[in-house]
Structure 1
Amino acid sequence: MQILAATDFSTRSQRALRRAGQLAQATAAELAIVHVVDDDQPQRLVEMEARESERMLTELIGAVSELRDVRCHPRVVIGDPFDAIVRTAVAQTADLIVMGAHRKQLLRDIFVGTTVERVIRTGHHPVLMVNNEVNLPYEVVLSPVDLSDASANAIRAARTVGVIDGARLEILHAFLPVGKGKMSMAGLDQADIDEYVSSERQEVTEDLTAFLLESDLGGLGASLRVEEGGAFEVISAGVDRMRPDLLVIGTHGRSGLLKVLLGSVTEEVLRSLNVDILAVPPNKREDITGP
């Protein structure tokens, strides 16, 4: 397996590098450690920064305990950070990109997105965004599923890169009983409304079970949980309840101004929840123009 870890030598990326090293140790993967030198500056400064970055990468590899016994390949790349990371991941045939949570700049993020979000949006690699300190391998994993190919692909990718090995996995699905509001407006008894919601929950649970079996995900030993509410509301509540080490979520291939202005559940999760997040874009063969 090939892992790419991006570092800007900050504390945030230090956590990501440690997690990447831990995963590489567990899976016998090779690890490319990439630092991007922004080329939007005088050439003399670019060359100077590149030389210094090579020295710092070498020192970093020797100083981080999680990188011991890992086959590390330091890379200094010139260019725009998000574009350079994606290009290098393609060149390295990376199976996983690991990045730290970047400091947010409100106005720029609204219209452009953070580097992590742009890497997820433009690439086809699973991206692990590391928010928290690295101690043990992931032990508790939460994966929201919306019965789409994208959500099934996210769990498959998590299994492939080894982040759910030995972990307690919960698969979470949000549903909205469409007739509940009309029943309330019609003045029906609460007991009748509760019975309707319970019936809907049972039907959705059966659909979820069938979806996992059809997606060859029935043998994970995961617990299933179906909660009433909007997607982000249910995911956020699930994180508060379960306190997972990792959230695994698929992204849909929406692009352009629609995505920038309206956002998505995944982008809201990336920006709002303080948990490590594995975000998995659609496969290249999947339709990436849908909602």
Structure 2
Amino acid sequence: MKTIMVATDLSERSDRALRRATLLARQFEAAMLLIHVVDDDQPRRIVDVEWDEASTLLRQMAATLRDVDGVACEPRVILASPFVGIAQAVADAAPDILVIGSHRRQVLRDVFVGTTAERTIRSVECPVLMANATPAGHYRHVLQTTDLSDGSRDALLRFQALGLGDHARTSLIYVFDAPALRLAFSHSIPKDDQKHYLEDEQRDAALELARFLSSTNLARLRQIVRYEASQAPHEILKAATEEHADLIVMSTHGRSGLAKMLIGSVTEQVLKTAQIDVLAIPPQRGE
């Protein structure tokens, strides 16, 4: 990892992103690009004031990163709508990873689709790290996810190439379905038969996961096979809590995200509700 971009809106959420990006830059001896987008859809005098204030703040932040943290940092203020500015900056600089703060969570409603974070994640070609938790050090336990799709396999390999999990405990979770237990008449199936059926499905799922990993060099990953007793996003988040994971890794395009500009529904739900960091990895160009 050579270049890390962090997008800041100068809020507390972005402070977490900046701190996480700083830790990564020090860990990998990478350069940092610190960007802030000034919305150009405002009266000119407001744009000019915000531009001047943001430029001053970013220069001060970059100087602190260089002098205190020893991180080479280039500040950039961009004039555009927030989403367009970030996407263009990523396209121009081609960073290895983009770090952003968590999206705004409303008290009574958790809105994610259509936010700057969501639009950025589904559009850029580099992995996007959403920094939800206050960084306390390097990642200790990474929970990778798979739905056994080609997109998921590619995301696992791209994550390995980043090196983020090299010094952390890493696990891989596959959440499987047991269709018969969802049928309307499933309540009439004896409990022992349900148990044996679920054991068979879990065994088959473990074999599927092993076959999926056999074409990669990831077979040594600690593997978790979990029944989809509730919705898959909930099972992933529940497993992350049980495993004390501090990073979840997901592909943006899996079985449920076939359209070019869509995020898979499972990934979307995890990004929407996770309290720990989430790394969303898109397919590489041409895939």
Work out whether 1:285 is the aligned partner of 2:286: yes
TM-score, length of structure 2 as denominator length? 0.88
Q: Per the alignment, do residues 17 and 186 of structure 1 end up closer, same or farther by CA in structure 2, a change over 3 Å counting?
A: closer
RMSD after superposition: 2.6
**Equivalent residue for 1:156?**
157
- Whole-Å separation in 1 of the counterparts to 2:245 and 2:187: 40
**Structure 1 position 67, deviation (Å):** 6.6
Alignment of 1:239-278 (within 5 A): 239-252=240-253, 253-255=257-259, 264-278=265-279
**Equivalent residue for 1:289?**
none
Alignment of 1:1-291 (within 5 A): 1-64=2-65, 68-104=69-105, 109=111, 112-181=113-182, 185=186, 187-218=188-219, 221-229=220-228, 230-252=231-253, 253-255=257-259, 264-286=265-287
Q: Per the alignment, do residues 247 and 66 of structure 1 end up closer, same or farther by CA in structure 2, a change over 3 Å counting?
A: farther
**Structure 1 position 156, deviation (Å):** 2.2
Moved more, 248-257 or 91-100: 248-257
Moved more, 189-198 or 6-15: 189-198
The answer for unaligned runs of 5 or more in structure 2 is none
Write 1 or 2 for the structure with the bigger share of helix.
1
Aligned partner of 2:142: which letter?
A: V
Contact 1:21–1:66, Cα closer than 8 Å, also in 2:
no
**Structure 1 position 117, deviation (Å):** 0.9
Q: Per the alignment, do residues 191 and 62 of structure 1 end up closer, same or farther by CA in structure 2, a change over 3 Å counting?
A: same
**Structure 1 position 243, deviation (Å):** 2.5
1:220-266 CA distance string (max 9 Å, x none): x4211111113113112212212211010111155599x59xx7111
- Whole-Å separation in 1 of the counterparts to 2:227 and 2:33: 42
Q: Per the alignment, do residues 58 and 107 of structure 1 end up closer, same or farther by CA in structure 2, a change over 3 Å counting?
A: same
Aligned partner of 2:225: which letter?
A: V
**Structure 1 position 62, deviation (Å):** 3.1
Contact 1:172–1:225, Cα closer than 8 Å, also in 2:
yes
**Structure 1 position 157, deviation (Å):** 2.5
Q: The residue matched to 2:42 in structure 1 has which SS?
A: coil
Percent of aligned positions with the same letter in both sequences? 36
The answer for unaligned runs of 5 or more in structure 1 is 287-291
**Structure 1 position 65, deviation (Å):** 8.3
**Structure 1 position 192, deviation (Å):** 2.6
Aligned partner of 1:157: which letter?
A: R
Q: Per the alignment, do residues 35 and 186 of structure 1 end up closer, same or farther by CA in structure 2, a change over 3 Å counting?
A: closer
- Whole-Å separation in 2 of the counterparts to 1:186 and 1:140: 38
- Whole-Å separation in 2 of the counterparts to 1:233 and 1:69: 40
